[in-house]
Chains A and B, each alone.
Chain A
Amino acid sequence: MLKIKNLSARVEEKEILRGLNLEVGKGEVHAIMGPNGSGKSTLASVLSGRDTFEVTDGSVTYNGEDLLDLSPEERARKGIFLAFQYPVEIPGVTNANFLKTALNEIRKSKGLAPLDAKDFLILMREKMKLVEMDKSMTQRSVNEGFSGGEKKRNEVFQMAMLEPTLSILDETDSGLDIDALRIVANGVNALRSPERSFVVITHYQRLLDYIVPDFVHVLYKGRIVKSGTKELAFELEEKGYDWIKEEVDAAKV
């Protein structure tokens, strides 16, 4: 589904991704871990089309198509979804209105008729239940005045509504209490299918108890430096990153 080859990206003069390789197959869940500032969010941003980052080398294909040529909205319409590490507040735009527009834009690109108000409401109720979100949230402005945890839950709610084929979750578990963590994981698991893939960026092995990954990768200094199965996450939890950093930095010299 997703093939990232030798991807390098920078912001201004700063190299952040330096020859990153990653393949995500259909139906797979990949976890990405790694120290602060290693480039995880940058990868997520590049995949969703944020233009602050300049791709200097490498390629990304999504279902065989060159992803880097597409605008953010085209990527979204083709099924890519990014749950933001820091969701943006948009005063004056209600959650419901925003989601309805987004959903119908995506439907339009697929040649589907827009959902009418009633069907939209039914769908929204169903998904709200899934992430145990309060009804009042949908009439509030997007993320405005939401608590940290509410913002994250709202990201998962949007994901559930838009039913993407490739979801990238950037630290969606940070700032969540134990119950919210379980709810968010339920939201993800409900979407899991042989057709849908996930890239889950996290600092905590704990999340992976709920969302069990097929692969775990370590991103360090803009590269995937180690890959394994979910056992790798336990090892990282226990030992930290120093041993990996040492391995990598030693190999370089």
Chain B
Amino acid sequence: MNTTIGTMPEYLTRYFENNNLIGPASLKQIRKDALARFEVLGIPTTKHEEWKYTNLAPLTRSEFHPALYHTLSKDVVVNDLIAGKEVILLVFENGRLNKELSSFDNLPKGITVGELGDNFDHPAVVKNLAKHASFENEAMVALNTAHIFDGAFIHVAENVHCEKPIHLLYISGGEENTLAFPRNLMVAEKNSSAKVIESFHSRGNESSFINIVTEVVLEENANVEWSKIQLENSNTFHISHTECTQAANSNFDIHTITFGGKIVRNNLHIVLDGKNITSNLNGLYVSNGDSLVDNHTLVDHAMPNCLSNELYKGVLDGKSKGVFNGKIFVRKDAQKTNAYQSNKNILMSDEASMNAKPQLEIFADDVKCSHGATTGQLDKEALFYLRSRGIGEEAARAFLTIAFADDVLNRISNETLRDELKNRINERLNKSN
């Protein structure tokens, strides 16, 4: 494998020892192993095949540090309650749980939502934490794993349906160059269901670096909808890895929506490890300025009779860059697999660019797979049609762009969240006009 070692800024591991004082011995060992692995792998450079278009060099040029104090007030957070107020809420300020602003008390029986660090002895944590997201070949997962402490733990017991959405709200800023390593673990037991919203915000224009890893485990017949919403400022480095393991008959919907950030890298790995699984992967990125949004997805069909459906759409303006790399593995035993993938992009300016790479590796013979990637401008015929009815050029462009994006947003089941995102995209597209 490729072990291109990049430069390794000292600040990244400066806090390791301190962090590793807490937790059971087994976890301390995991952190140590992860650190050792990270020191071998180093920060990926663009020589690394999987990081070809995503240059992390800016991370090595300035220093980031964990923020020490909570300074956030309730009225700031209110604006970021994008899924409404009727939620189980964990607010993470610069990666660290702010209990005062959160509300996760008096949860119904069978539902645990809280700080990961408070739950290290929970059997589901012992069983699953760091057992799914492998750091062997993933430097940024290794870096995060070396710092496991902050983050959310969600557990939904067998046959329990969590009615209220669970909102993990991450907000950074208040000072410059903050650093956070959030680690989330969700376990949905047999026949359970839940909806999780993970949203990311900035207070002002402060620069920040977030290196986050989330493990989601769906046991048999569990049903989880996960919305990852990135709304940070244009000085944010967001490197994330989401690893989902699904058991038989489970259903996982994930929406990855990116409206902000300077460099955003989202790894999404889904392992379909049972029969009759459904996975829906939806993505929408709307970028401008000189930002970069890189989505790397991997759908691993290990067992027969499963369905995965992937739709990623991008609207790129200014000098922004988009990357989509979608891998689908269909292993030998995964007969009767249906796997679909589609990536569609609109370039709104001459200087915006997109790199799309679908990769299908199919080892079973009785499967239905399709993939397609398109990048282009808005449909000229459609633009003319709208204008010929009296709609101005800019409004017509916004009309078509919003329709393009709504195709993804309409798949989000939470109406409050969906409408909020539609409003934001409306505002943004009409403002640039």
Determine whether A175 belongs to the interface, using a CB cutoff of 8 Å to chain B: no
In contact, A101 and B388 (Cβ under 8 angstroms): no
Q: A73-B393, A106-B390, A109-B390 are in contact. Are A101 and B384 (CB under 8 A)?
A: no
Determine whether A84 belongs to the interface, using a CB cutoff of 8 Å to chain B: yes
Q: How far is the CA of A141 from the CA of B393 in the complex (A)?
A: 20
Q: Which of B386, B395, B407 has the most chain A CB atoms inside 10 A of its CB? A: B386
What are the 10 closest A-B residue pairs judged by CB atoms, nearest first?
A: A92-B403, A76-B390, A102-B389, A72-B387, A88-B385, A106-B390, A105-B390, A73-B387, A93-B403, A88-B381
In contact, A90 and B407 (Cβ under 8 angstroms): no
In contact, A72 and B395 (Cβ under 8 angstroms): no
Q: How far is the CA of A58 from the CA of B177 in the complex (A)?
A: 64
Q: How far is the CA of A162 from the CA of B388 in the complex (A)?
A: 11
29 contacts between A and B (CB under 8 A): A50-B384, A72-B384, A73-B390, A76-B387, A76-B388, A76-B389, A76-B390, A81-B388, A87-B385, A88-B379, A89-B382, A90-B386, A90-B403, A91-B403, A91-B407, A92-B404, A92-B406, A98-B386, A98-B399, A99-B389, A101-B391, A101-B395, A101-B399, A102-B389, A105-B391, A105-B392, A142-B385, A158-B389, A162-B389
Q: Closest B residue to A142 by CB, please name it.
A: B385
Of the candidates B387, B389, B403, the one whose C-beta lies within 8 Å of that of A71 is: B387
Q: Which of B385, B386, B388, B396 has the most chain A CB atoms inside 10 A of its CB? A: B388
Q: How far is the CA of A162 from the CA of B386 in the complex (A)?
A: 13
Inter-chain contacts of A77 with B (CB < 8 A): 390
A residues bordering B, Cβ < 8 Å?
48-51, 71-73, 75-77, 81-82, 84, 87-93, 98-99, 101-103, 105-106, 109, 141-142, 158, 162
Inter-chain contacts of B381 with A (CB < 8 A): 88
Q: A155 to nearest B CB, angstroms?
A: 10
Determine whether B400 belongs to the interface, using a CB cutoff of 8 Å to chain A: yes
Q: How far is the CA of A102 from the CA of B386 in the complex (A)?
A: 8
Inter-chain contacts of B387 with A (CB < 8 A): 49, 71-73, 76
Q: How far is the CA of A72 from the CA of B381 in the complex (A)?
A: 12
Known: A49-B387, A72-B388, A91-B407. 14 other contacts (CB 8 A): A49-B388, A51-B384, A73-B388, A73-B390, A73-B396, A89-B382, A90-B385, A92-B403, A93-B403, A98-B389, A98-B391, A102-B389, A105-B391, A105-B392
Inter-chain contacts of A87 with B (CB < 8 A): 385
Q: A90-B403, A92-B407, A101-B399 are in contact. Are A48 and B388 (CB under 8 A)?
A: yes
Q: Closest A residue to B403 by CB, please name it.
A: A92
Inter-chain contacts of B391 with A (CB < 8 A): 73, 98, 101-102, 105
Q: Closest B residue to A82 by CB, please name it.
A: B388
Q: How far is the CA of A82 from the CA of B392 in the complex (A)?
A: 16
Inter-chain contacts of B382 with A (CB < 8 A): 88-90
Q: How far is the CA of A88 from the CA of B387 in the complex (A)?
A: 12
Q: B411 to nearest A CB, angstroms?
A: 13
Q: Closest A residue to B385 by CB, please name it.
A: A88
Instruction: Tell me the B270-323 residues at the A interface (CB within 8 Å).
Output: none
In contact, B388 and A93 (Cβ under 8 angstroms): no
Q: Closest B residue to A92 by CB, please name it.
A: B403
Inter-chain contacts of A75 with B (CB < 8 A): 388
Q: Closest A residue to B404 by CB, please name it.
A: A92
Inter-chain contacts of A101 with B (CB < 8 A): 391, 395, 399
In contact, A84 and B403 (Cβ under 8 angstroms): no
Inter-chain contacts of B400 with A (CB < 8 A): 90, 93
Q: Closest A residue to B410 by CB, please name it.
A: A92
Q: How far is the CA of A102 from the CA of B406 in the complex (A)?
A: 20
Inter-chain contacts of A91 with B (CB < 8 A): 403, 407
Q: B314 to nearest A CB, angstroms?
A: 15
Q: B433 to nearest A CB, angstroms?
A: 14
Q: How far is the CA of A78 from the CA of B402 in the complex (A)?
A: 27
Q: B405 to nearest A CB, angstroms?
A: 9
Q: How far is the CA of A89 from the CA of B403 in the complex (A)?
A: 12
Q: How far is the CA of A99 from the CA of B391 in the complex (A)?
A: 10
Q: Which of A49, A77, A105 has the most chain B CB atoms inside 10 A of its CB? A: A105
Q: B282 to nearest A CB, angstroms?
A: 15
Q: How far is the CA of A77 from the CA of B403 in the complex (A)?
A: 24
Q: B432 to nearest A CB, angstroms?
A: 18
Inter-chain contacts of B384 with A (CB < 8 A): 50-51, 72, 88
